[in-house]
Structure 1
């Protein structure tokens, strides 16, 4: 049993860069990835069983698709994944002209459109952008490029898009216009020097924005107006992203990372890279599957 606001390691996966957790209620299982380990994982919290598959490239995220199967964001493109065969099938190439980029984080909106971001794998150039995949088409969101994008995440009413500039230590909010595109971008939250780097954001059912803190030893929650609500402290430095799960969507899972830790830091953080969980007093949102597209039958 996990405790309120007290994270505990629930799966000793030891990921180099754990990321992209997503709870699938019909399966009652949590899917997540290890980007640098090129692994796709599926965790059953009842049996504590972990199933894993090798990915053909760095894998940033996994999300459900309408009608079954899963979509993943690999370096170079969007791929369908079939758990039965373990095969990854290319759906669309992304940023073929930027071989140094990779896909990093993603979400879906209330209409089943996929929003995803890219980043410079060397973490140097401002080449990361945010895209939308809808009706089979990939389009640039028009948001300003940054080195490491994270998110986006979307409010329960679908009217606000949150997106993170990780190296800039900022989370921004944009209105979603009548045409479905972001507009009126403004600063939502800034992480102070020494507070860590905002990683993957998610939004709970009450509209609060949660972010993992890489090198920040925890996760933070902000109210819809940007007011700080709380910090959840972790026994590991690199907390990457959260996901609300269980039947009531009030168990919060968190991926973590060993990336960047020295040998001494690894010894001091034996649970680094593991999957964690804690209980919250607010529920999350159910993930909307990606809508089918013209050449997906």
Structure 2
């Protein structure tokens, strides 16, 4: 093996496994574990579960310092998630911040509810349906566009009544829309999934002001979180089954080109779910069944891990004064009685205050 420079030297070696440490590493409380081209930030005494699944293929001679510097930025954050409301949602999802009213909207998919967290901290139900409500977004008129099973609808918030429906995009009852968001041109995009499941039959649909639909990307197993870059030129979207976050060029006419893998989340940390972007281009992702949120920088390098007090964070959005609060929905869905005894707060609404604030989401043009 090539001699490592002074900055980063092997601590000990076992067959197929290499541990590396430096002053940079020791400052963070972690060492670097390298195995089969994978890099894992590991505490001196315990595994942190923060990994580089795809950042560097091998530690080549002469770049040990580069590895250490890049790796040393990965840290288990000291942000403490604070409970915002005792919502006890079965499958809380799609939080949306309304800066005009200072309210936070979110849904409970399986209970078919659209809820609103008011500035006074009270939670009220705005709308209830026998259908599964998946995605939610604001309109430019202060209303809400949302999905019911495989249809899209617009809710008049003041009247609390639906005044426009799309036709269903799929005849089978197992199909429903999941997460969604609006593009920079004011159109609504949502991912259709099969709860059955049925392979890679999921797709992203775009809806215009008349709620006419068009498929803009297909071949997905479980479409999930969606977010646009601040300049609107890039869109990020999740396939939870693939544990993948993709980035694509988003053309003004609403087409995707140059779809590439932005990040593959660690297998030991559940599956990626909802996402939100901060002002530095960093991407926050909720790890369902992973008990954490992860942050990737604009290059797809893992930088932060926030441990949650519940196992199933589902989605997140920036809001609050100056867009400095990251709101996080969670779920009780699929948890058994023993798990619920250990995590009684599952399904509640949480928030953290990252060092970097977020960007506002686009509204639907009615």
Normalized against structure 1, the TM-score is what? 0.92
Bigger helix share = 2
Report what 2:215 is aligned to: 140
| 4+ long deviations beyond 6 Å | none
Following the alignment from structure 2 to structure 1, what is the Cα–Cα distance between the partners of residues 150 and 244? 26
Pairwise CA RMSD: 1.7
1:35 corresponds to 2:102? no
Following the alignment from structure 2 to structure 1, what is the Cα–Cα distance between the partners of residues 347 and 198? 24
- Given that 1:4 and 1:280 are in contact with CA atoms closer than 8 Å, whether structure 2 keeps it comes out as no
Equivalent residue runs for 1:81-92 within 5 Å = 81-92=155-166
Equivalent residue runs for 1:231-250 within 5 Å = 231-250=305-324
Structure number with greater CO (CA < 8 Å, separation at least 6) is 1
Q: 1:283 to 1:89 in 2, by over 3 A?
A: same
Query: 1:83: Cα distance to partner?
Result: 3.0
Which segment drifts farther, 218-227 or 200-209?
200-209
Report Cα offsets for 1:84-124 as digits up to 9, x if no partner. 33322343123233432101011112221211111112234
SS in 1 for 2:340: helix
SS in 1 for 2:341: helix
- Given that 1:81 and 1:88 are in contact with CA atoms closer than 8 Å, whether structure 2 keeps it comes out as yes
Q: Alignment partner for residue 252 of structure 1, among 316, 323, 326?
A: 326
Q: Alignment partner for residue 246 of structure 2, among 162, 172, 177?
A: 172
Following the alignment from structure 2 to structure 1, what is the Cα–Cα distance between the partners of residues 78 and 304? 13
Query: 1:175: Cα distance to partner?
Result: 1.3
Q: Alignment partner for residue 167 of structure 2, among 89, 93, 106?
A: 93
1:181 corresponds to 2:255? yes
Q: How many corresponding residue pairs? A: 288
SS in 1 for 2:268: coil
Rg larger in structure: 2
Following the alignment from structure 2 to structure 1, what is the Cα–Cα distance between the partners of residues 361 and 355? 19
Following the alignment from structure 2 to structure 1, what is the Cα–Cα distance between the partners of residues 122 and 232? 35
Normalized against structure 2, the TM-score is what? 0.75
Following the alignment from structure 1 to structure 2, what is the Cα–Cα distance between the partners of residues 120 and 147? 8
Q: Alignment partner for residue 120 of structure 2, among 41, 47, 53?
A: 47
Following the alignment from structure 2 to structure 1, what is the Cα–Cα distance between the partners of residues 230 and 257? 18
Could you tell me which runs of 5 or more consecutive residues in structure 1 were left unpaired when the two chains were aligned: 293-297
- Given that 2:237 and 2:246 are in contact with CA atoms closer than 8 Å, whether structure 1 keeps it comes out as yes
Report what 2:196 is aligned to: 122
Could you tell me which runs of 5 or more consecutive residues in structure 2 were left unpaired when the two chains were aligned: 1-76
Q: 1:74 to 1:159 in 2, by over 3 A?
A: same
Following the alignment from structure 2 to structure 1, what is the Cα–Cα distance between the partners of residues 282 and 323? 14
Report Cα offsets for 1:68-93 as digits up to 9, x if no partner. 32111110211111233332234312
1:203 corresponds to 2:277? yes
Report Cα offsets for 1:127-183 as digits up to 9, x if no partner. 211011234332110x23222101221111111111111011111111123643111
- Given that 1:4 and 1:278 are in contact with CA atoms closer than 8 Å, whether structure 2 keeps it comes out as no
